[in-house]
Structure 1
């Protein structure tokens, strides 16, 4: 069981060896409904695990090359393996955004890092922009020495032009929300090549966090997964 204050640093180091980073965390308030921890008691703390930019990509590719068969959702499988190993080492329960029933990952992330959604629904990070993701979380049955998230300006509030809502050829994103079927049909269709090979045009139009933008091959991987290509 994790008890030492320095253990959070140890978890961060273990994850960083695979390109993953701790994305903040918090202690559940007394009386708050919390998911179950490792021994089926209510969790008292959660640490979010994710990525900044494409740092995990080379680690994932090396893992994928060693697999003896094709695996459905390979990035999810890799993430579960890496985060699961950290959970085992530090006495936590590992959970994933794809677990059913779904856990409130976006709400956790906003609470842990003080972020708000962009017009695309992706949380806007003050440093990474839209180029980050959450791969899982660690649930602990003890409280952790965690500080409250710092408050940062929401970059989207200062963005007047909103290029993220003007670059999609089928206007999949708008102030009314995301039209999933329009996006999917375009990506799969004859004119969807720019999106298939280089990623979402709206996401790429965002001016923030450009140093962390995923390389084209990473964006193509995610787009293929989204469109089931």
Structure 2
């Protein structure tokens, strides 16, 4: 079993391997974990797969979390691993720390996580802790080091900017206005990331995530 094998299996389910690491004793991975694999959506096909799922059709709260638990649970069983989810807690698993330790994700100038393929659109549906030590790829170059950082000026109300903390109340207040419609179709900060240009989401997918963010 290789990381490429796992990625092919994940793609069939609408996911991709978005990083992996050898966790240390302070990384809060399950005991006996030799490789920790991070999984995120495989865009653009992910949304069609999720919206065709029984979890989406059931119209119950948190359908994406329920979908993730079913799909990652099936993958983990096939890989003889243990699934871990960002929604489980407290205590919550340190997904940001794991992502940065994978060498394929970094803290962006606006303090959001940026990933080598997904840019600022990165999300992790879960991780799978494996008992085997798999060969890992070399770290990716940090795209922010050579980027003009359009993300720092993209927010129309300045809720996110260079080095500042995310002003969540200002963001939510703007989303509740008519002027916030463009952001409801996809956060302008995330869309401004050059890496994200090749990782577009359908507007309906962005609206789904924004509605969840607003608690609707």
TM-score, normalised by the number of residues in structure 2: 0.87
How many residues end up aligned between the 2 structures? 214
Q: Which residue of 2 is the match for residue 135 of structure 1?
A: 125
Encode CA deviations 1:35-74: one digit per residue, 9 max, x unaligned: 464xxx443321111124333111101104774x322111
SS in 1 for 2:36: strand
Deviation at 1:25, TM superposition (A): 1.4
Q: Which of 97, 100, 105 is 2:95 aligned to? A: 105
8 Å contact from structure 1 (residues 84, 94) kept in 2: yes
What is the rounded CA distance, in whole Å, between the counterparts of 2:159 and 2:109 in structure 1? 11
C-alpha distance 7-159 of structure 1, shift in aligned 2 (>3 A): closer
What is the rounded CA distance, in whole Å, between the counterparts of 1:80 and 1:65 in structure 2? 10
What is the rounded CA distance, in whole Å, between the counterparts of 1:220 and 1:60 in structure 2? 14
Q: Is the counterpart of residue 13 in structure 1 residue 14 in structure 2?
A: no
Deviation at 1:205, TM superposition (A): 2.1
Q: Is the counterpart of residue 93 in structure 1 residue 72 in structure 2?
A: no
Q: Which residue of 1 is the match for residue 215 of structure 2?
A: 228
Choose 1 or 2 for highest CA Rg: 1
TM-score, normalised by the number of residues in structure 1: 0.83
Q: Is the counterpart of residue 22 in structure 1 residue 17 in structure 2?
A: yes
Q: Which residue of 2 is the match for residue 58 of structure 1?
A: 48
Taking only aligned residues, the RMSD between alpha carbons, in angstroms, comes to: 2.2
SS in 2 for 1:28: coil
User: Which runs of 5 or more structure 1 residues have no equivalent in the other structure?
Assistant: 1-5
8 Å contact from structure 1 (residues 51, 135) kept in 2: yes
